[in-house]
């Protein structure tokens, strides 16, 4: 694999490359956008970097040695944007933005989605209605195809996207939906009745046996039951019984470290 950080004589290609500004959206913004709507979907751009050709003048800078079967060594050079080079994400993301600009004003929604909903090569978005979902997915896919970028590995949650339900604005609904607190209904059934397409159900080889050791301590009756809706503000602000619980947990888990801190001594890793 081409490695622009591999050194020869104490130097590597990356030592001579000027890094461009980061164009990718902040990861928290991408995740929040994915969790806003009731319907969420994701996809990724296949071989994103390899879709973009290097200019002829830049190819000699991406040369590498390739040992042949006859013991001779060939000098090769990369012709496509490659991983490991600092400017590759900048070039790749900028090229998708160019595809969005070339689509014109008729595809403005799709162009805006490409700029706001794609994190490097991952497309994460959400909407509240099915018709909006279909329109956005179709538009973004078309614009990217016109730029020779192809979305694949689609994952759609077409019924409900509960990931961030507890922090959405729900002025006319319950403070926190019961299905967010309780989880999906099948969890309360026998395992034999669970959906068969769950990842850990479909791929048994991924199952691993583990040993878990619990250190049970006495807990107040209210904490044993778990917080109710009225105590959520205290939980979020970490006040009252919740703060006491954290302090007790820290004291049980890190007694020596806390003792040193109280004595104003440094902690060693």
Summarize pLDDT for 72-99 with one digit per residue, the tens. 889 888 888 888 888 888 999 999 999 9
The model's confidence at residue 117, banded by pLDDT at 50, 70 and 90, is very high
pLDDT 10s digits, 141-198: 999 999 999 998 887 765 445 555 555 555 455 566 666 677 777 778 887 887 776 6
CA distance 145 to 123: 14
Question: For position 162, what pLDDT does the model report?
Answer: 57
Give CA–CA dist 166/181, Å, rounded. 9
For the segment 237-262, the average pLDDT, to the nearest whole number, is 83
* pLDDT higher than threshold 50 for residue 6: yes
What is the tens place of the pLDDT at every residue in 44-53?
998 898 889 9
Q: Is 258 exposed, middle or buried (0-12, 13-18, 19+ CB in 10 A)?
A: middle
Does residue 221 surpass a pLDDT of 70? Answer: no
pLDDT grade for 65, boundaries at 50, 70 and 90: confident
Higher pLDDT, 51 or 19: 51
How far CA 110 is from CA of 51, 142, 200, 202, in Å, comes to 20, 9, 35, 35
- CB count within 10 Å of CB 39 equals 20
CATH of domain 17-161: 3.30.70
Is residue 230 pLDDT above 70, yes or no?
no
Pairing verdict, β 118-119 and 122-127: antiparallel
Split at pLDDT 50, 70, 90, the class of 108 is very high
Does the structure show a pLDDT above 70 at 214? Answer: no
pLDDT, position 15: 85
Q: Which has more pLDDT, 199 or 27?
A: 27
Provide the pLDDT confidence category of residue 222 given band limits of 50, 70 and 90. Answer: very low
Reduce the DSSP state of residue 108 to 3 states and report it.
helix
Query: Where along the chain do its domains lie?
Result: 17-161, 210-269
Q: What is the mean pLDDT of the chain?
A: 78
DSSP H or E segment with residue 208: none
pTM of the model: 0.56
């Amino acid at each position: 694999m081409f490695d622009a950080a591999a050194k020869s004589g104490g130097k590597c290609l990356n030592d001579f490359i000027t890094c461009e500004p980061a164009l990718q959206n902040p990861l928290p913004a991408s995740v929040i956008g994915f969790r806003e709507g009731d319907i969420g979907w994701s996809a990724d751009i296949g071989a994103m970097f390899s879709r973009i050709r290097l200019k002829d003048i830049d190819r000699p800078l991406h040369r590498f040695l390739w040992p042949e079967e006859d013991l001779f060594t060939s000098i090769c050079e990369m012709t496509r944007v490659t991983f490991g080079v600092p400017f590759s994400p900048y070039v790749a993301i900028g090229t998708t933005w160019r595809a969005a600009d070339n689509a014109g004003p008729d595809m403005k929604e799709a162009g805006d989605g490409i700029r706001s909903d794609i994190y490097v090569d991952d497309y994460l978005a959400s909407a509240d209605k099915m018709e909006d979902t279909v329109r956005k997915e179709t538009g973004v896919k078309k614009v990217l195809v016109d730029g020779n970028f192809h979305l694949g590995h689609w994952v759609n949650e077409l019924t409900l996207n509960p990931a961030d339900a507890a922090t959405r604005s729900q002025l006319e609904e319950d403070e926190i939906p019961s299905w967010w607190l309780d989880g999906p209904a099948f969890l309360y059934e026998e395992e034999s009745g669970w959906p068969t397409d769950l990842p850990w159900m479909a791929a048994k080889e991924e199952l691993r046996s583990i040993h878990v050791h619990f250190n049970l301590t006495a807990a107040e009756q209210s904490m044993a039951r778990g917080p109710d809706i009225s105590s959520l503000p205290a939980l979020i602000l970490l006040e009252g019984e919740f703060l006491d619980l954290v302090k007790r947990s820290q004291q049980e888990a890190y007694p020596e470290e806390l003792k040193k801190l109280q004595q104003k001594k440094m902690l060693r890793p």
